[in-house]
Amino acid sequence: MTSANSWLAALLFALPAAAGTPITDVKAPPDLLGDGAGLHAALERAIGHPVWVVGARLDAKGGELIVQDVADEEIYDQYFVVPGGPIRGPAPQKVGSIDCPRNRVAFAKLDLGVVGGVLADAKARAAGNGYGEPLSAELGADVFCKGFGWRFLTMGIDNDDAMLELVYGFDGRLQSARSFDGERWKKLDAKALAAARAAPAPKAPAAAPQEKPGGGAAFRFYENPLPALAELERFIGEPLRLKSVVIDEDQVSVDLFRKDSGRHYFTYLLAADGGIKLWREDDSIMLDCNKPFAPGEAPFANLGDLVARALVAIGPMQDPYVTSAHVSRNFGCGRTEVVVYTEDERAKGRVVFDDRGRQREAEIQ
């Protein structure tokens, strides 16, 4: 490919982001990472006035720079570079799109010559520790507008829950390194990182799916969900320790604790045709009721009657229908209750019954 064709190809590649942006008569050097001084000089000519840099992205194939006018700090512009091609810009940027306007560096003092080095260093550290290859260097800060510098964020190769974050200063030196294990961030020792001793723990193998295909059943959940719950009990092979049960016409969603699972609970979905699948599992949170109940402690057998009574009790609604019924222990983690949710064309309502089927509340929301 000729050099003319190569910069044109790069420019066309960058078009979606730079569409509508004017083209300057200043060309970027052919080697963006190897000629930082040349790139800086070209950008300086293209921009033509003193600016702060608030963000940038750069790799061998191209990059962009977001700058703030020193003379009018409400003016932000974006410039695009491709190897050997004309610099595009300015593309006006909205003030509100700048996440951290206080994080900025004078363009005159920004050494673009360090970018090739930090990108190569970040690639080596990531590869040596089992993380994916960072594709470009990004100048910016974290979500709290801290740690303004050249940043890299990459995911673990064998564990995509893990992430590696590297931040380099404007002098090209590594300032911070930390990893995310899927739950929390942890500082990494630079020496361990350099010695390739900071790989993420391998991802735990996914549990075999717990699923039973449907067929042969035709449960009518609103009339009586107990046969479906009995089916679930047979499927998991232990008595049901229920946390909550959400019933609608086509599906029952059951949160339950397993034997010795503590605060950890499992959500099973039951289909009207008898299908069962483990949908998700999680830990209950503060103020959640962790005291399980057995099916016999709640008025499941009378659900059809409760649904019919709820539609009468919510009388001011016009032609109400039931959207779901929720069964759980009541507020305070006491006895069980059933909340029947209703809607009509204008409003939503709820009717609450206690464990003996007595109506406690009926309100239009």
SS3 for the chain is CCHHHHHHHHHHHHHHHHCCCCEEEEECCCCCCCCHHHHHHHHHHHHCCCEEEEEEEEECCEEEEEEEECCCCCCEEEEEECCCCEEEEEEEECHHHCCCCCCCEEHHHCCHHHHHHHHHHHHHHHHHCCECCCCCEEEECCCCCCCCEEEEEEEECCCCCCEEEEEECCCCCEEEEEEECCCCEEECCHHHHHCCCCCCCCCCCCCCCCEECCCCCCCCCCCCCHHHHHHHHHHHCCCCEEEEEEECCCEEEEEEECCCCCCEEEEEEEECCCCEEEEEEEECCCCCCCCCECHHHCCHHHHHHHHHHHHHHCCCCCCCEEEEEEEEECCCCCCEEEEEEEECCCCEEEEEEECCCCEEEEEEC
Query: Among 41, 60, 70, 75, which residue sits at the site for another protein (rule: CB under 8 A)?
Result: 75
Count Cβ atoms below 10 Å from residue 156 Cβ, excluding itself.
24
Query: Among 1, 216, 287, 365, which residue sits at the site for another protein (rule: CB under 8 A)?
Result: 365
Number of residues that bind another protein (CB under 8 A): 27
Give the C-alpha separation, 364 to 327, whole Å.
Answer: 19
Site stretch for another protein (CB under 8 A), options 19-27, 125-133, 178-186, 323-331: 19-27
Query: Among 4, 37, 120, 196, which residue sits at the site for another protein (rule: CB under 8 A)?
Result: 4
Query: Among 12, 120, 145, 294, which residue sits at the site for another protein (rule: CB under 8 A)?
Result: 12
- What the block records as the tokens of 346 is 């204008």
Minimum CB distance to another protein smaller for 91 or for 327: 91
* Distance in Å, CB of 90 to another protein, minimum: 9
- What the block records as the tokens of 325 is 């019924």
* Distance in Å, CB of 224 to another protein, minimum: 31
Minimum CB distance to another protein smaller for 76 or for 131: 76
Binding residues among 331-350 for another protein as defined by CB under 8 A: 343, 345-348
* Distance in Å, CB of 159 to another protein, minimum: 40
* Distance in Å, CB of 313 to another protein, minimum: 17
Scan for tokens 């999680």, then name that residue: 282
Q: Does 9 bind another protein (CB under 8 A)?
A: no
Tell me if 125 sits within 8 A of 133, measured CB to CB: no
Site stretch for another protein (CB under 8 A), options 10-18, 196-204, 237-245, 296-304: 10-18
* Distance in Å, CB of 69 to another protein, minimum: 11
Minimum CB distance to another protein smaller for 241 or for 348: 348
Contacts with 195 (C-beta within 8 Å, 6 or more apart), sequence order: none
Q: Does 201 bind another protein (CB under 8 A)?
A: no
Binding residues among 76-115 for another protein as defined by CB under 8 A: 76, 86, 92-96
* Distance in Å, CB of 110 to another protein, minimum: 23
* Distance in Å, CB of 348 to another protein, minimum: 7
* Distance in Å, CB of 220 to another protein, minimum: 28
Q: Does 319 bind another protein (CB under 8 A)?
A: no
Minimum CB distance to another protein smaller for 96 or for 205: 96
Site stretch for another protein (CB under 8 A), options 73-81, 119-127, 282-290, 328-336: 73-81
Binding residues among 289-308 for another protein as defined by CB under 8 A: none
DSSP lists the bridge partners of residue 327 as 245, 338
* Distance in Å, CB of 121 to another protein, minimum: 35
Residues that bind another protein (CB under 8 A): 4, 8, 11-12, 15, 18-23, 74-76, 86, 92-96, 343, 345-348, 364-365
